[in-house]
Amino acid sequence: GESVGLHLPTLSVQEGDNSIINCAYSNSASDYFIWYKQESGKGPQFIIDIRSNMDKRQGQRVTVLLNKTVKHLSLQIAATQPGDSAVYFCAETSTGANNLFFGTGTRLTVIP
């Protein structure tokens, strides 16, 4: 599979600030993207997804932005809380595929 990479391997933010985690993908055939949160010792937990026919999707305190022109994906977390501390992965796939391609992850640390 093609690589899914993240610009920042670590990110530290103050509690209450907004966080932005970035992801670059290279497979132009990918049409579906997911952000996962993985806490230490646990499995990935779905946060939010977006299809390639959209450029923005909002959830509770989270927003995903997709820029297909530059193959870039970002996750914005509003009012970051200590419980948001985790490793965040973007994953890409395409319709009909059986598997997800995961990036290497960004470790988010929230400073109280």
Partner 1 sequence: NAGVMQNPRHLVRRRGQEARLRCSPMKGHSHVYWYRQLPEEGLKFMVYLQKENIIDESGMPKERFSAEFPKEGPSILRIQQVVRGDSAAYFCASSPRQTNTGELFFGEGSRLTVL
**24 to 53, contacts with partner 1 by CB under 8 A?**
32, 34, 41-46, 49
CB nearer to partner 1: pick between 27 and 32: 32
CB nearer to partner 1: pick between 18 and 104: 104
By CB under 8 A, tell whether 57 contacts partner 1: no
Tokens of 74: 């970002």
Q: In whole angstroms, how close is the CB of 31 to partner 1 at the nearest point?
A: 11
Q: In whole angstroms, how close is the CB of 112 to partner 1 at the nearest point?
A: 25
CB nearer to partner 1: pick between 33 and 80: 33
What are the distances in angstroms from CA 8 to CA 11, 88, 91, 94?
7, 11, 16, 25
Tokens of 5: 């990479």
What are the distances in angstroms from CA 60 to CA 26, 38, 43, 76, 77?
28, 18, 21, 11, 9
Compute the distance between CA of residue 26 and CA of residue 6 in angstroms, rounded to an integer. Answer: 11
Which chain residues interact with partner 1 by CB under 8 A? 4, 32, 34, 41-46, 49, 89, 91, 93, 97-105
